[in-house]
Structure 1
Amino acid sequence: MSGHATVSNMKQVTDGNRDWGGMEFRRIETNGTELHVALDGAGPPVLFLHGWPHTWQVWRPVLPLLTGARRIVAPDLRGLGDSARAADGFDAGTGATDMLGLLDALDIDRADVVALDAGVPAAFVLGALHPERVRRLVLLEATLPGLPGGFATPPWWFGFHSAPGLAETVLEGHEAEYLDWFLTAGTYERRGVRAAIRDAFVRAYTGRDALRCGFGYYRAAPQNAASVLAAGRLTVPTVAVGGDTVGDLLHRQLRPVTDDLTGELVARSGHLVPLDRPDAVAELILTGPQGASG
């Protein structure tokens, strides 16, 4: 055990206005912050890391498909959603240490780690530096700073989000309109996100401080590049999963630095694979890569 968590401050969180189907919620201190964590199920544990502009709820369509087969651990990342606001620590190295502390607090020795978008760098570092804690990595729709083979030209918002203090100043008061663009563009055939999940994301990123924490994950790109390069090779089994945005870029990035790598292109999916194709994500978790691209 890595000893990064304070277990004594765990407590269950309930919200009578939400129907979570018996899911348990806790706030867990780890690595100098406090994470809100959704917990459910039994069996081999799976740790879920969301991206931007998401919360743990990006996995909601996947989780019922795992009922009774997996123990679900789905935190809001540092500073995001219902986790404590944070002054810093949005880089991949800190995120990996946050997750080690979370696993310790829950007495989990080893877990599958499933990560999307901005959660992928921390998952990579966790798997590379602590393979004894990671049974398998499933990495969805992201590129890794520091490794060649990413986007030839980064999407326009990478620079906008990375400029310190700019995006939150411009967007405060217009969070819903801005997030709606990403949540529509990120889904297959621009279908958009169902209302309950969309509203949860908008609530999570409303206000200057919430926006600042979200954009902190973009501003950590130089640190992430250094952490990814320093972490070395991935020795744990790894699946690189692409939708219609990243495609096979992550698979190509990981090929030179991963011992056991599978690539999967998920048909009929945009960037938000857990929302577009929860069946494919669940199948990857439960049975491995076979059949997820159908």
Structure 2
Amino acid sequence: MHITTRFPLRALLGRMLIASATIAVAALPMAGHAAAPKGFNERNATVNGTRIHYMIGGSGPAVVLLHGYAETSHMWVPLMPLLAQQHTVIVPDLRGAGDSSKPESGYDKKNLALDVHEIVRQLKIDKIQVVGHDIGLMVAYAYAAQYPSETSKVVLMDAFLPGVGNWKDVWLLRDLWHFHFRGPTAEALVKGRERIYFEHFW
């Protein structure tokens, strides 16, 4: 596995950040979704004792996109067709989210990574690039740590990595402001005023 600070799809990074911010404000529900983008198929895989829903499309080297907290695979919809021009794009709903099963247990990052790995093995793919946003970052890291010979690149975005730096100080903050982005209150605060909100950042 080669780890680098350069992202080969750099042109898409800005779009990823905008998509992440948009999803945080819109706060997609944990279940239900719109249709898959054109050129993508929706599938279900029984892996690691549970059913995982995922979308797949495109052709070329495989890239797996992992969503964050209070999100689903559909947070990646704006990027999926672009990535599919040169990649096989695999986008699961992690265990407990979207249209995947919601079992009582198995939510540690190592086990979530195993869910993803079993999908990749079922697809007979030998090596992937894995992109993790928010909690998906932790799953992506666990995937690369457990399956280094099957991981060509790792992209970690928009969260801290437990065990690195002062992550406990961040985790124990009383004012975890980003958790208020989810739910009807957040939507009501920006409804009809989205431009004002986004111009604050950009």
TM-score (norm 2): 0.70
Matched residues in 2 for 1:182 and 1:152: separation?
A: 29
Matched residues in 1 for 2:100 and 2:47: separation?
A: 11
The 5-angstrom pairing of residues 126-205 of structure 1 reads: 126-150=143-167, 152-154=169-171, 155-156=173-174, 176-178=183-185, 180=187, 190-191=197-198
**Aligned-partner residue type, residue 35 of structure 2:** R
Matched residues in 2 for 1:43 and 1:153: separation?
A: 38
Query: Which residue matches 1:62?
Result: 79
Query: Which residue matches 1:26?
Result: 43
Structure 2: unaligned runs, 5 residues or longer = 1-31
**Aligned-partner residue type, residue 124 of structure 1:** Y
| Identity, % of aligned positions | 29
Deviation at 1:88, TM superposition (A): 1.1
Contact 2:162 2:168 in 1 (8 A): no
Which of the numbers 113, 116, 122 marks the counterpart of 1:105?
A: 122
Contact 1:53 1:179 in 2 (8 A): no
Structure 1: unaligned runs, 5 residues or longer = 1-14, 162-174, 193-243, 245-267, 269-294
Q: Does 1:114 align with 2:139?
A: no
SS in 1 for 2:167: coil
Matched residues in 1 for 2:107 and 2:37: separation?
A: 28
Q: Does 1:93 align with 2:110?
A: yes
Deviation at 1:99, TM superposition (A): 1.3
Alignment CA distance shift 1:94-1:19 (3 Å): closer
SS in 2 for 1:191: helix
SS in 2 for 1:52: coil
Which of the numbers 35, 53, 67 marks the counterpart of 1:36?
A: 53
Matched residues in 2 for 1:151 and 1:62: separation?
A: 32
> RMSD in angstroms over aligned alpha carbons?
3.2
Contact 1:143 1:151 in 2 (8 A): no
SS in 2 for 1:74: strand
Alignment CA distance shift 1:54-1:107 (3 Å): same
Contact 2:37 2:80 in 1 (8 A): no
Alignment CA distance shift 1:188-1:54 (3 Å): farther
Query: Which residue matches 2:17?
Result: none
Alignment CA distance shift 1:87-1:140 (3 Å): same
Bigger-Rg structure (1/2): 1
**Aligned-partner residue type, residue 190 of structure 1:** Y
Deviation at 1:182, TM superposition (A): 11
